[in-house]
Amino acid sequence: MKPNMVKRIIKYIRNAIILIVSLIIIYFLLVILLTLIPVNRAYNPSEFGIEIFITSNEVHIDFVLPVNNEQRSWWNDFPLNYFTLVDSSYKYISFGWGDKDFYLNTPTWADLKWDIALKALFLPTPALMHITYIREKPVENSLTKKIIISDAQYEKLIQYLTSSFHKNEDSSFILIYVPSKSNYENYYEANGSYNFINTCNNWTNQGLKYIGIKTATWAPFDKCVLYHLN
């Protein structure tokens, strides 16, 4: 190979590395900036109303709601016979949205494959809803935050959550049956697509925006959502 050709190749590689590093730096600077800039700044927490929770597993944020109250009985939407170890004593239900391939093919972090991770990050990929029944009220800590909302806000949250599901013609939610995951949790077809801008955590953040809670302008990571709830 000619020396000039080698120099050109080295130059292209160097420029590509600089570009990639620059884009990563810009991305994280935007994450910090848009996390610090809140929306719904006039929001004042209520002392009375419906308790909901925002919970994180240190990667992924979920909404946790009462299974049953005057506004909604989620038993009707997610029947017990679809959850083999759940009974009517369970008091809460969690809602998460995320990349379909990642959820179904990465049961633990040890199972993570680079092709799935890269596709989820850089390509618009199909999404699903993750539903989990929880027996007792979540315990508040650094990863679990309680929010008290009004009846009107709860109705808006129900609207936001149900609009995230892809539905059958009769408006029922479409179950994705995974036998190994049907004890306490199940997956359902969802609307929207996942990418590094529209992440699972930003879906939760958008829901908080929609119901008027003070939260980040953009929140691709769980800490971005939790920041304004601390």
pLDDT digits (tens, 9 = 90+) for 36-45: 999 999 998 8
How many residues comprise the chain?
230
Rounded Cα distance, 165 and 77, in Å? 11
Q: Would the pLDDT of 163 be above 80? A: yes
Q: For residue 117, what are the domain limits?
A: 37-227
Domain contains 169? yes
Lowest-pLDDT choice from 23-27, 66-70, 201-205: 23-27
Q: Would the pLDDT of 93 be above 90? A: yes
Domain contains 29? no
Give the mean model confidence (pLDDT) for residues 49-55: 96
49-to-45, 150, 156, 228 alpha-carbon distances in Å? 10, 5, 14, 20
Q: Amino acid letter at 113?
A: K
Q: Which residue in 230, 224, 226, 228 sits closest to 35, CA to CA?
A: 224
| The pLDDT of residue 109 | 52
17 versus 105: the higher-pLDDT residue is 17
Strands (E), the chain: 38-39, 50-56, 61-66, 92-99, 125-134, 144-149, 175-176, 185-194, 215-216
Query: pTM of the prediction?
Result: 0.89
Residue with tokens 């935050």: 145
Rounded Cα distance, 222 and 9, in Å? 40
Give the mean model confidence (pLDDT) for residues 59-88: 93
Q: What is the DSSP letter of 3?
A: H
165 versus 4: the higher-pLDDT residue is 165
Give the mean model confidence (pLDDT) for residues 138-163: 96
Domain contains 8? no
Query: How does the average pLDDT of the chain come out, rounded?
Result: 89
C-beta of residue 123 within 8 angstroms of C-beta of residue 195: yes
Number of Cβ within a 10 Å radius of residue 60? 19
Rounded Cα distance, 111 and 102, in Å? 10
| The pLDDT of residue 90 | 96
48 versus 59: the higher-pLDDT residue is 48
The two three-digit tokens of residue 126, written as one number: 């199909």
Q: How far is CA 24 from the centre of its chain?
A: 22
Q: Would the pLDDT of 67 be above 60? A: yes
Domain contains 202? yes
Domain contains 9? no
Q: What percent of the chain has pLDDT over 70?
A: 90
Domain contains 27? no
Total domain count, the chain: 1
Q: Would the pLDDT of 51 be above 90? A: yes
Domain contains 193? yes
Confidence bin at 125 (pLDDT 50/70/90) = confident
Domain contains 136? yes
